[in-house]
Structure 1
Amino acid sequence: MKAKFYAAAAIALVLASTAHAGGAHDHSPKHGGVVTESKDMDYELVAKPTVIQLHLRDHGKSADVSKASAKLTLLSGTEKQEVELKPAGDKLEAKGTFKVGPGTKAVAIVTIAGKPSGTVRFALK
């Protein structure tokens, strides 16, 4: 009986330490968008007909986007639209008229000062 208890305790300790070491962080949307993870960074795309926002989180904390930019390509059916996203407070943003809706695909090329560009893909729901 003691052996089972110690085995269970050891497993619980290993799982807890793995989660604490960064093996598990929250990837849920914080702004009502769609989240994709790439290289330990969460990218949340919020796409509305008049505004597009891209929120970046590094290990759960908002990333500094003051020297960042993104080029977003929207693919909706046979239509293609390219959008430049610029810093707007704690996010990258563009305002205008955008064809977005369920099934729209988006590809973002994100550039962050001091870090190489990354490509992130989204599928809007």
Structure 2
Amino acid sequence: MVKTKFLQLLVVTATVFSVNAAMAHGPKAAKFGGTVASAGDLGFELAAQGDTVTVYVDDHGTPLPTTGMSGKLTLLKGAEKSEAELVAAAPNKLEAKGLKLSAGTKAVAVVTLADKKVITVRFKAN
């Protein structure tokens, strides 16, 4: 009798913990070699190539078209601060030109969606 109760309790406990792990949300793995963050139920990846910093936007792993989106990207490295406008680029990219992204840089993207909703996303570059 005691053994049966213990087994039932063990099964219930294991079920509770496995459901929580399966339902856990969080940033997905980087697809473009950048830093991943989530905000406002959307996924964002910050990546750089040369003097262009790109913010990729997705909705639960599906690329989200950036037509009609805009924003501002601020980079903070020590006492240095640099800013640039984010401009929509096909298919799911927002680009800021004239910025250099290096390891340890903190970035804040203020993104205005096509429906005019504003989302703030914070990153720390790898």
In the superposition, the TM-score normalised over structure 1's length comes to: 0.77
Letter of the 2:67 partner, please give it: S
Structure 1 residues 8 and 58: CA distance shift in structure 2, 3 A: farther
Q: Provide the C-alpha distance between the structure 2 equivalents of 1:13 and 1:61, rounded to a whole number of angstroms.
A: 30
Letter of the 2:114 partner, please give it: A
| Deviation beyond 3 Å, 4+ runs, structure 1 | 2-20, 22-26
Unaligned segments of structure 1, at least 5 residues? none
Does the 8 A contact of 1:48 with 1:98 survive in 2? no
Higher Cα radius of gyration? 2
Q: Deviation string for 1:56-113 (max 9, x for gaps)?
A: 111110112101012000112211111111111321112x432321111110100001
1:61-80 correspondence runs (5 A): 61-80=62-81
Unaligned segments of structure 2, at least 5 residues? none
1:91 is the counterpart of 2:93: yes
Q: Provide the C-alpha distance between the structure 1 equivalents of 2:20 and 2:68, rounded to a whole number of angstroms.
A: 33
Q: Provide the C-alpha distance between the structure 1 equivalents of 2:95 and 2:85, rounded to a whole number of angstroms.
A: 8
- Secondary structure of 1:81's counterpart equals strand
In the superposition, the TM-score normalised over structure 2's length comes to: 0.76
Aligned-residue RMSD, C-alpha: 2.4
Aligned length: 123
Structure 1 residues 65 and 9: CA distance shift in structure 2, 3 A: farther
Q: Provide the C-alpha distance between the structure 2 equivalents of 1:16 and 1:59, rounded to a whole number of angstroms.
A: 21
1:1-125 correspondence runs (5 A): 24=25, 27-88=28-89, 89-94=91-96, 96-125=97-126
